[in-house]
Amino acid sequence: MIIALNNKSNFTKEEFLEYKEKLNKIQKNANLILCPTNLYIGLVEQSNIGLGAQNVSKTSCGAYTGEISATQLKSMGVKYCIVGHSERRKYQHETDEEINQKVKLLLKEEIIPIICVGEEKEERETNRQNEVIAKELEEALKDLTIEEKKKVIIAYEPIWAIGTGLIPTNEEIEKIINLIKCHLPNTKVLYGGSANENNIEELRKISVIDGYLLGGISLKLEKLDIFLEKLEN
């Protein structure tokens, strides 16, 4: 099981250092990937927790003030990078084309992109989730070879479920994951969106899930510990 922890824009430096020490102690059998705020990447030393970034520049190294390139992430030991999170699509107006550029630059540096896809509430209500997700996948993976496509991880995150406490039914999640695996048979697919220590026993019944992308609960280690415990036992 892959468990990616998306800290988003949280923690001061001191808080993060304390968090990181505690996280090392709750390591379970799951394959944990920590995605701290990009600023703190250099504070994470080599351990059995995978290091991920939350974003990458759409350009290579060069005169791009404020940007962090895939080459720079690699040089800091980053192995994974979240791409196309709905918060970036919404607040930074990230487009499918930019997401595709980022995916390509990451793969060039052998960093595994964790590509987020998911529908809005209104799209689910009008039963358009399949077409929305198929399009997001197609655009994000445009021009990639079959071999490259095998390397990416997809995170299905219904936008209306992120940070809201709402969650699709197991059947709805399973349908979307099967749809993604139909497009990409050898790809690992995570679920994200209000997954927590209270619903994991229900979620773990979905056999096609390869892991989880966790936001809110990634910040609360006592709850994360219970989540991992319930997931594994």
With a CB cutoff of 8 Å and minimum separation 6, the contacts of 51 are 33, 34, 41, 44, 76, 77, 78, 79, 80
Q: Which is nearer to ligand PGA, 8 or 149 (CB)?
A: 8
What are the start-end ranges of the H helices in 26-167? Answer: 70-75, 86-91, 96-108, 121-125, 129-140, 146-151
Q: Kindly state the smallest distance separating residue 163's Cβ from ligand PGA, in Å.
A: 4
Q: Which is nearer to ligand PGA, 31 or 216 (CB)?
A: 216
Q: How far is the CB of 193 from ligand PGA (least distance, A)?
A: 5
> Of the listed 94, 123, 157, 197, which one is catalytic?
157
Residue nearest to ligand PGA (CB): 215
Active site residue 183: no
Binding region for ligand PGA (CB under 6 A): 6, 157, 162-163, 192-195, 213-217
DSSP strand pairing (31-35 vs 112-117): unpaired
- Nearer CB in complex with ligand PGA: 4/69: 4
- CB of 86: closest distance to ligand PGA in angstroms? 7
The residue among 58, 157, 167 whose CA lies nearest residue 116 is 157
Instruction: Kindly name the residue from 15, 85, 123, 201 that is annotated as catalytic.
Output: 85
C-alpha separations of 140 from 17, 84, 114, 224 in Å: 34, 9, 11, 30
- Active centre residues (catalytic): 85, 157
